[in-house]
Structure 1
Amino acid sequence: MQRLPTIVDVASTAGVSRQTVSNVLNSPDIVKPETRIRVEAAIASLGYHPHESARRLRMRKSSTIGIRLDPQTDGISGSVLDRFLHALTEQAAEQGLRILLFTARDHHDEVTQIERLRDTGDVDAFVLTSTTLGDPRTTRLAELGVSFVTFGRPWGVDDMDDPAHLWVDVDGRSGLHEATSAYLSTGLRRVGYIGWPAGSGSGDDRMRGWRDAMLEAAQSPASGEVELEALCVAVEDGVSQGAEAYRRLRAAGEVDAVVCASDSLALGALLASGGAIPVTGYDDTPVAAAVGLSSVRQPLDEVAAGVLELLTGAHAGRSTGGPANDPRHRLVRPRLVTRSPAPLPPR
């Protein structure tokens, strides 16, 4: 087996010391340009690749990003975080970074696990998911000086400009606004909404998209507000809950179409209606694609890219520091995917 070139081989070929080669690899600015060029030429000719583990140890940096692996609570909507993890891991690897997954019982235990991983030097920065109203994690990590970015806004505060931490999110309002407007543009008027109980942050954001589109199309704000009460049903997430919510909508009056806060709710509405009216979900999960359900797709590749940009760029995952003109957040616009569902037996 052919022996791989070492840093000693590079130093010998370039006629410099091992320390000079190390400086070229880790701190090139302190090396004279002519010497750096000679060392880089030796590296290229030998095909030398630095030992990443050794280099991380010397720099006391793990080049590792930690993220909690949430328990899968829903086989349909749970695929969103799986896709995000895949995109994040793939893009991190392209930048020479690693992803470390860990588990925790709840938000408070997650903070404890983060402190442990940071103190042992195993992880440099963290990504938080599933942000909630009054999320205890963000305040605590900011106090500890931990580098982190959240996938989700700091709900309950000044969402767009809060400097307390860095975040990337998908504009749920624009997604549901586009889905609702698409139905209204075809002449449909009674577009119902099935969402989650108030206070979920992302659910409230998606509901606002539907509400704003409906009020913009209403002949008068007063009549529009009254009509919306009968066209909106809030339930917990799930297929059976979506079916029950659809039946409640129909009991309150005719419905021309339905938009939903998730694909789980949309699938339930689609099954309960027997495909009699168009239904749009949210997340564009594999189930939505399989049954031909229209849905709002979250561009998770863009979310992952934004997370890594905030972690590795000028801000370095910190709430303080970094250029003032560089936004501390990234709000990504989703895309409506329109499909025609397969025929279903009437219910």
Structure 2
Amino acid sequence: MGLLPTVDDVARVAHVSRQTVSNVINSPDIVRPDTRKRVESAIAKLGYRPHASARRLRTQKSSTIGIRLDPMTNGISGSVLDRFLHALTEQADERGMRVLIFTATDPESEIRQIRKLRDGADVDAFVLTSTFYGDKRTEWLIEHHVPFVTFGRPWGIDDMNDPQHLWVDVDGFAGLHEATTDLAARGARRIGYVGWPSPSGTGDDRRRGWETAMTEQFAGAADLDLLSVAVEDDVESARTAVAGLLERARPDALVCASDSLALGALMAASGPGLADVPIIGYDNTPVAQAVGLSSVEQPLNEVAAGALELLMGDTGNTVIHRGGDDPRHRLITPKLVSRRSTHLARYEDDTATVTKSAAGNHK
């Protein structure tokens, strides 16, 4: 077994001093960008990992990222944040960072928890999830100069490149646009939409994807309101709403803002003469996989990687100050996962599962 790489090894490969390597690791903002990138490249090449405990004592930084564990309000769609948390924890560990999980019942109590953790120097930065219009959490963090990144865009804010608000998100518009276009290419014409009540940043974005695709595919599609329903993210509520939609508007396919809604739609469409209505959900949860439901998948490993890159750079292991022309956000394209099953009889693929990018070509 070979010796582990040292700071001196990194300095030699990067053609810099030992102190410069230390600065890149502990205070990257004071190092010139080109030098920092060269050192980070050497660190990645050698697989060098500083001794975490020693670094925490030396820098007076916790090497810890805080994230709220959301209340489990929905066992289906709620699994998305669980998978994100798992990916974030794994990738943070690879950088020598820890993830501290805390609980809060609402945004106000989350702010109180953040203040307590920050005052105690227990956390260097925070990852926020479930962003919404008028999010007081981000306002507080910006006002108090606390480093953070959000999984979700700053909904309702004009400046999407605010250097004080780093964010990473999945392009829900692209996901629902691709799902709708895919159904149209397979012969569906009256494609309905099952979504959430507005205003909802995420939900409205996904609905726009459906609306735009319908307008592009079918010029003069004027009955879109007739073809859509908005309900809370609940299986039974969706089942009831979709039953009425099927009777009222007779859609020949459905796209949904979540797998919870899609499962309710599947239950509503399981009656006589309706079982061949294609249904596509969103999130590609284990439930969707278990029942053979097509769904739009969020690449959560990419989301976690984007969040950490925004906080710490491409390969860094400490929170940095972003300046100049550094990117302030990541918008990641989801994937459509199509499955052959009885409720997707319109699909003619011979394979059990076909995965394609949201921008890919149709078969």
Provide TM-score, normalisation by structure 1: 0.81
* Structure 1 runs, 4 residues or longer, greater than 6 Å off: 22-25, 314-318
Q: CA deviation at 1:159?
A: 6.2
Which SS does the other structure have where 1:122 is aligned? coil
- Distance in 1 (CA, whole Å) between partners of 2:257 and 2:343 is 23
| Aligned 8 A contact 1:207 1:261 in 2 | yes
Q: Answer yes or no: is 1:58 the counterpart of 2:54.
A: no
Is 1:211 the counterpart of 2:207? The answer is: no
Query: Aligned partners of 2:83 and 2:159: how far apart in 1?
Result: 25
Q: CA deviation at 1:313?
A: 2.0
Residue identity over aligned pairs, in percent, reads 61
**Would the alpha carbon gap of residues 111 and 71 (structure 1) be closer, same or farther in structure 2, given more than 3 Å must change?**
same
* Residue in 1 that maps onto 2:288: 288
Number of corresponding residues: 305
Give the aligned partner of residue 261 of structure 1: 257
Query: Which amino acid is 1:270 matched to?
Result: L
Residue deviations 1:262-284 (CA, integer Å, cap 9, x gap): 00000111111113311000000
- The structural deviation recorded for 1:50 is 6.4
Tell me which residue corresponds to 1:186.
Answer: 186
Q: Distance in 1 between matches of 2:52 and 2:234?
A: 45
1:85 maps to which residue?
85
Please, which runs of 5 or more residues in structure 1 have no aligned partner? Answer: 1-6, 8-21, 30-47
Match of 1:271 among 263, 267, 272: 267
**Residue 305 (str. 1) matches residue 301 (str. 2):** no
How far apart, CA to CA, are the structure 1 residues paired with 2:171 and 2:240?
27
More displaced 10-residue stretch of structure 1: 278-287 or 153-162: 153-162
Counterpart-to-counterpart distance in 2, 1:88 and 1:49: 18
Q: Is the 8 A contact 1:134 1:156 kept in 2?
A: yes
Query: 1:233: which partner in 2?
Result: 229
The whole-number CA distance in structure 2 between the counterparts of 1:98 and 1:247 is 47
Cα RMSD between the aligned structures?
2.9
SS in 2 for 1:325: coil
Change (3 A) 1:145 1:28: closer
Q: Does residue 113 of the first structure (1) align with residue 109 of the second (2)?
A: no
What SS class does the counterpart of residue 109 from structure 1 fall into? helix
How far the C-alpha of 1:164 sits from its partner, in A, is: 4.1
Does the CA-based 8 Å contact 1:233-1:248 persist in structure 2?
no
The alpha-carbon distance between structure 1 residues 58 and 162, as it changes in their structure 2 partners (threshold 3 A), is: closer
The farther-off stretch of 325-334 and 79-88 is: 325-334
Once the two structures are TM-superposed, the CA of residue 26 in structure 1 deviates from its matched residue by 3.9
SS of the residue corresponding to residue 178 of structure 1 reads helix
Supply the distance in 1 between the matched residues of 2:96 and 2:81 (Cα, whole angstroms). Answer: 22
Q: Quick check: 2:277–2:343 contact (8 Å CA) kept in 1?
A: no
1:37 match: none
Answer whether contact 1:291 1:342 (CA < 8 A) is retained: no
Query: What is the CA–CA distance in structure 1 between the aligned matches of 2:93 and 2:166, rounded to whole Å?
Result: 22
What SS class does the counterpart of residue 189 from structure 2 fall into?
coil
**Alignment partner, residue 14 of structure 2:** none
* Alpha-carbon spacing, 1:236–1:132, altered in 2? closer, same or farther (3 Å): same
Q: How many angstroms apart in 1 are the aligned matches of 2:217 and 2:319?
A: 42
Q: Distance in 1 between matches of 2:251 and 2:21?
A: 65
Secondary structure at the aligned position of 2:324 is classed as coil
Deviation at 1:52, TM superposition (A): 2.5
2:89 is the alignment partner of 1:76: no
In 1, the alpha carbon distance for the partners of 2:50 and 2:137 equals 37
One-letter amino acid of the structure 1 residue matched with residue 94 of structure 2: E
1:134 and 2:130 correspond: no
TM superposition shift of 1:116: 1.1
Q: Is the 8 A contact 1:65 1:98 kept in 2?
A: yes
Give TM-score, length-normalised by structure 2: 0.78
Kept after mapping to 1: 8 A contact 2:283/2:298? yes
Task: Give the deviation of 1:323 after TM superposition.
Answer: 3.7
- Closer, same or farther in 2 for the Cα pair 1:159/1:268, shift >3 Å? farther
| Partner SS for 2:111 | helix
Q: Distance in 2 between matches of 1:28 and 1:258?
A: 51
Alignment of 1:35-50 (within 5 A): none
